[in-house]
Each structure stands twice: as C-alpha cells, then as structure tokens.
Amino acid sequence: MNYQRLRSLFFLLFFMQISLGAQTKLRQAYIEKYKEVAIEEMMLFGIPASITLAQGILESGDGESKLAKEANNHFGIKCHLDWDGPKIYHDDDEKGECFRKYKHAEESYRDHSTFLRDRSRYADLFKLDRTDYKSWAHGLKKAGYATNPNYPKLLIKIIEENNLHQYDLRSNKTQMVLGEHMVFTHENDIKYVEVGKEDSWESLSAELEISVDRLLKYNEVSYDRPLSEGDIVFIQKKRKKGKVKSYQVEYNEDMYSISQKVGVRMKYLYKRNGIIVGGQPEPGQILLLK
C-alpha cells in the first residue's frame, strides 16, 4: 500500500471516529433529556421506558430529524383519521405524507403512549412483563408498528448499547411498612397504600395512625364511599400539579378516579381545565395537569 493510500485511509478513519464520537454525544444528550419523561410514561401506561426511549432515538435520529426539529414528533406518528391537531407534511413511504405536529416533545411522548394503549392491535403488548424489552420490541413489529424487518433488532441494539433497560427497573418501590401495609410512592411523589380485602377506613386509620378525617381529606372523599380491594389510599395530600403536562381521559373515568390516578387534587383539575365543580370530562378529552 503506497503512502497516498495510507494517508487517505488515516484521514477516513480519523473523520469516522469524530463522526462516531459526535453521534454518541448526541445520543447521550437525548437519553439524559428524555429518560425521566419515558419513566413517567411507563408509570402511567406500563410501556417499558427502554422501549419508549429506543423508539424515540431511532425514529427521531437522536432528536435531529426534520420531524423532531420542526414538529416535535419523535415517533414518526402519522395523522391518521382521528387526528385533528396541527400537521406537517413529510416524505416517508409516500411523498407528502401527513404527520402529527406537537407544541412540545413531551406531548409526542404522551401521544405515543396513548397511541399504543388505544389501538387493539397493540393490546397483547400490555400483557407482557414491563422488563421484557425484547418481547416488546418483537411485539411492536408483529403488531405492525414498523415495516422494517430489522426493527426489533435495531431497538434491542440501542437498548443494550446504552443500558436503557436500567430504567425499566424504576418502580413505585416500597419505602416502609406500616402495620401490615407496604407504603409506596406514587409517581407524583405522594405516599400511598393499597386497600386489602378486609380494610375499612377505621382499620386503616388505626394501623397507619392517621385519623379517618385526615385520610378522607387526603383522598377527597366522604365517609360513605366504600373501599374496594386494590384501591389506592393516599396518606399524604395530593399535589397541585401533575408530573406530566396532560392526561387523556379514558372511558368510564370520572374526575375522582383521574385525580387518584395522577395524584392531583380535584379542585386544581377543575380550575385548570375550565370544568365546573361536579362536572365530568368527556372520554378522549385532554386534561391539563399543570
């Protein structure tokens, strides 16, 4: 190999190394910026944070794609018939396809979560263990999320190279035990217990050493509201704001059940969303949490 060819090869390798280093920095910056958002979505919807992050990285090109920069669309979600929000047009499988446009990247993350949750073809994914990112990756491809046959391999590679599966282990871990109840921390940083089969307001009050009146106040209920096994009972006051910006109302949800789910006091949900006290949101409505 002559000197000229060696010199050319040296510069090629040199610039490849610079390019790889720049891409690594972009990716790490992306992960650092959005990991907590992905964890919050996992807490609310059950989608592994590693999967959400890997999809965001892959679909948005580490946040550098045109859709990500101009439309805050990090998951390549197209308009579809049910989208009545802002739009942007971009060449994909076909020329000039319609994609969803968001005010903030966090809205894209939330829409990604609801997109998967609300479509029946993804229902089997939510039966998988939250830490089984490999099955989630293959399940997304099987359900038709992407046309690329290597989509699962690409997601798994991103997850394992960047140790994203560590974020799937984040959970509402036990903080302490009071009596026979484990005390958990809600994603909105509020302590709570789960109601057992034989629990009543009086038994919880005695065991937790918190008055019945205070428990009722923390949970914004009257004494005659029955407790059911698996219910959440907060042992601290709920917050004024949510951890995330918004929440999409599901069928058969009322303001109370949403308040318990997101850990935000009802009066702030009513006020922030222009709903009269006692009124109820409509299914599909977007409620502002902060």
pLDDT of residue 36: 87
State which CATH number among 1.10.530.10, 2.60.120.620, 1.10.10.1100, 1.10.3720.10 fits the domain covering 21-72+104-169. Answer: 1.10.530.10
State which CATH number among 3.50.50.60, 3.40.50.2300, 3.10.350.10, 3.40.640.10 fits the domain covering 246-288. Answer: 3.10.350.10
How far apart CA 204 and CA 195 sit, in angstroms, is: 9
- Per-residue pLDDT tens for 10-24? 445 444 454 455 577
pLDDT of residue 229: 87
For tokens 């034989």, name the residue. 198
Residue 175: HSE in the Cβ half-sphere, 13 Å Cα cutoff: 11
Do domains 21-72+104-169 and 246-288 share one topology? The answer is: no
Residues in the chain: 290
pLDDT of residue 15: 46
| Residues above pLDDT 90, as percent of the chain | 50
Structure tokens at 216: 């009722």
Tell me the pairing of strands 87-90 and 97-100.
antiparallel
87: β partners: 100
How far apart CA 41 and CA 43 sit, in angstroms, is: 5
Higher model confidence: residue 5 or residue 190? Answer: 190
- Per-residue pLDDT tens for 39-73? 878 876 789 999 999 999 999 999 999 999 999 99
pLDDT of residue 10: 44
Structure tokens at 222: 């009257």
The C-alpha R_g of the chain, in whole angstroms, comes to 23
* pLDDT confidence tier of residue 149, bands split at 50, 70 and 90: very high
pLDDT of residue 190: 85
| Residues above pLDDT 70, as percent of the chain | 88
- Per-residue pLDDT tens for 71-107? 999 999 989 887 888 999 987 767 878 999 999 999 9
The end-to-end CA distance of the chain, in Å, is: 65
- Per-residue pLDDT tens for 110-146? 899 888 988 889 989 988 888 899 999 999 999 999 8
Higher model confidence: residue 260 or residue 5? Answer: 260
Instruction: Assign 62 to helix, strand or coil.
Output: coil
Instruction: Assign 193 to helix, strand or coil.
Output: strand
Segment (H or E) for 57? helix 49-60
176-234, CATH topology level: Membrane-bound Lytic Murein Transglycosylase D; Chain A (3.10.350)
Instruction: Assign 233 to helix, strand or coil.
Output: strand
How far apart CA 56 and CA 27 sit, in angstroms, is: 11
- Per-residue pLDDT tens for 150-182? 999 999 999 999 989 888 876 544 455 666 788
Q: Are 280 and 255 in contact (CB under 8 A)?
A: yes
CA-nearest of 90, 44, 53, 55 to 71 is 90
Sheet of 232-234: strands edge to edge? 176-178, 181-185, 191-194, 232-234
Structure tokens at 122: 């993804």
pTM strictly above 0.85? no
How far apart CA 11 and CA 59 sit, in angstroms, is: 31
CA dihedral 76, 79, 81, 82 (to 10 degrees): 90
* pLDDT confidence tier of residue 230, bands split at 50, 70 and 90: confident
- Per-residue pLDDT tens for 201-227? 999 988 887 889 989 999 999 998 889
Higher model confidence: residue 7 or residue 194? Answer: 194
Q: Where are the domains of the chain?
A: 21-72+104-169, 176-234, 246-288
Instruction: Assign 3 to helix, strand or coil.
Output: helix
C-alpha distances in angstroms, 281 versus 25, 41, 288?
Answer: 43, 21, 12
As a whole number, the mean pLDDT across the chain is 85
pLDDT of residue 186: 85
